[in-house]
Copies of this chain bind each other. A is one copy, B any other.
Amino acid sequence: MRGLHADTGYLLYRIGLRSGQLFNAFLQESGLRLRHYALLRFLATTEGALQRELSTRLGYDPSAIVGLVDDLEKLGFAARRPSPDDRRSRIVVLTDDGRAFLRDTDEAGLRATSTLLRPLDATERDTLHTLLQRIAETELS
């Protein structure tokens, strides 16, 4: 009989939970949560995205995106703009304040991850990251 922590899938589940907790702890003072942060970080990579696009790319339900963008808009970190060619869509863009926020909290985010990966050295972290990215590419796309 295998032990409790013998299954990789279960390990991923448990560690993923812990990672989310750590991230939220670091974000606590800003009033945002991991999902907000992920959305901001995604916005930083594009000129602006439809909410539908955010949903598929981040893996969150469309209904979840609504609330997240609401919060970010209230804080002035993101804004909804009307789409010129489709009046159903809104284009979500990162504001200057949002960009500044990302700059300021970038280090804190790295520190959260670093806390979790404390037992691993630099090369091991790289290895882990590469493996995870391979999984993410096929699984979360």
Interface residues of A in 1-18 (CB under 8 A from B): 1-5, 7-18
Q: How many residues on the A side are at the interface (Cβ–Cβ under 8 A)?
A: 56
Q: A7 is contacted by which of B109, B131, B134 (Cβ under 8 Å)?
A: B109
Decide if B42 touches A4 in the complex (CB within 8 Å).
Answer: yes
Instruction: Check A133 for interface membership: any CB of B closer than 8 A.
Output: yes
Binds B, one of A65-73, A74-82, A119-127: A119-127
Instruction: Check A47 for interface membership: any CB of B closer than 8 A.
Output: no
Residues of chain A touching chain B, judged by Cβ–Cβ distance below 8 Å, are 1-5, 7-20, 22-23, 34, 38, 41-42, 44-45, 57-59, 102, 106, 109-110, 112-113, 116-120, 124-125, 127-129, 131-140
Q: A119 is contacted by which of B45, B124, B134 (Cβ under 8 Å)?
A: B134
- Distance A5 CA – B110 CA, assembled complex (angstroms): 13
Number of identical protomers:
2
Task: Name the CB-closest residue of B to A23.
Answer: B9
- Distance A129 CA – B113 CA, assembled complex (angstroms): 18
Given the contacts A120-B131, A139-B15, A23 and B5 also touching, CB distance less than 8 Å = no
Task: Name the CB-closest residue of B to A8.
Answer: B129
With both chains docked as a complex, state the minimum distance between the C-beta of A92 and any C-beta of chain B, in angstroms: 14
Decide if B12 touches A116 in the complex (CB within 8 Å).
Answer: yes
Given the contacts A41-B4, A45-B1, A138-B119, A19 and B9 also touching, CB distance less than 8 Å = yes
Q: A134 is contacted by which of B8, B113, B120, B136 (Cβ under 8 Å)?
A: B120
